[in-house]
Amino acid sequence: MAADAHTDEAVAGAGGLVVGGDGLARCPWHGGLPDYQHYHDHEWGRPVASDARLFEKICLEGFQSGLSWLTILRKRENFRAAFHGFDIVHVAAMDEADIDRLLGDAGIIRHRGKIASTINNANRALELIAEEGSLARYFWRFEPPAAERPAKVTRDWLRANPVSEVSKAISKDLKKRGWSFVGPTTVYAFMQAMGLVNDHLEGCVARAECEVERATFVRP
């Protein structure tokens, strides 16, 4: 899940929700920060079928390892510039010289292993697309059945479940295929963000909107 950035600017409501200045109840982790709240309201939990966005997100989740998502979010445009908009073919063609160049780019996280992992994962993504047809088709076939989800998503439940059996299965399969920086916690955060599950808290204004989008979303 996105890092908890709750501040006293928001008023705590029932079930761990916070009520913003607009009177709407939300998950608390955006902390009232405008850019983070926009991400919460308009991106997190909404189903995604774009291979470029799926690839971008799983790579950025890898970069987040050991950091907060807010740090990555605020550098996201720099990451997009550095990695050709996360165009999988272009990223797969990057080489050691590109790694050395990006290690000098202060706009991104300068971690050799994570940069190299992104290039490696692009090549593994091309292999997966050749086999499955698309990243979207691959990831969405792991969508958990509704019966395996809690009747109500609470903050306590999320804290107790930073991974799932599905995220473990995806992580294991991706690692077998040669992907890196795709541990089960990273994969579960990816699932939450890309709408494979709806982990907005019960009563959050975005939860109902995500449910509507998920109901009408055409699975790849």
Q: Which residue segments constitute the domains of the chain, with CATH numbers given?
A: 51-195 (1.10.340.30)
Catalytic sites, residue numbers: 39, 61, 69
Please give, one letter per residue, the 3-state secondary structure of 2-33: CCCCCCCCCEECHHHCEECCCCCEECHHHCCC
pLDDT value for 215? 96
pLDDT value for 46? 98
- Distance, in Å, from the CA atom of 199 to the CA atom of 109, rounded to the nearest integer, reads 27
pLDDT value for 11? 46
Which residues, given as ranges, of the chain have pLDDT below 70? Answer: 1-14
Contact call for residues 40 and 2 (beta carbons, < 8 A): yes
Task: Encode pLDDT of 15-45 as tens digits.
Answer: 789 999 999 999 999 999 999 999 999 999 9
Q: What is the DSSP string of the chain?
A: -------TTSEE-GGG-EE-TTS-EE-GGGTT-HHHHHHHHHTTT-----HHHHHHHHHHHHHHTTS-HHHHHTTHHHHHHHTGGG-HHHHHT--HHHHHHHTT-TTS---HHHHHHHHHHHHHHHHHHHHHS-HHHHHHTTPPPGGGS-SS--HHHHHH-SS-HHHHHHHHHHHHTT--S--HHHHHHHHHHTTSS--SPTT-HHHHHHHHHHHH----
pLDDT value for 134? 98
pLDDT value for 146? 87
Q: Burial-class residue 17 by CB neighbours within 10 Å (0-12, 13-18, 19+).
A: buried
Contact call for residues 37 and 200 (beta carbons, < 8 A): no
pLDDT value for 27? 96
Sign of the torsion angle spanned by Cα atoms 179, 180, 185, 189: negative
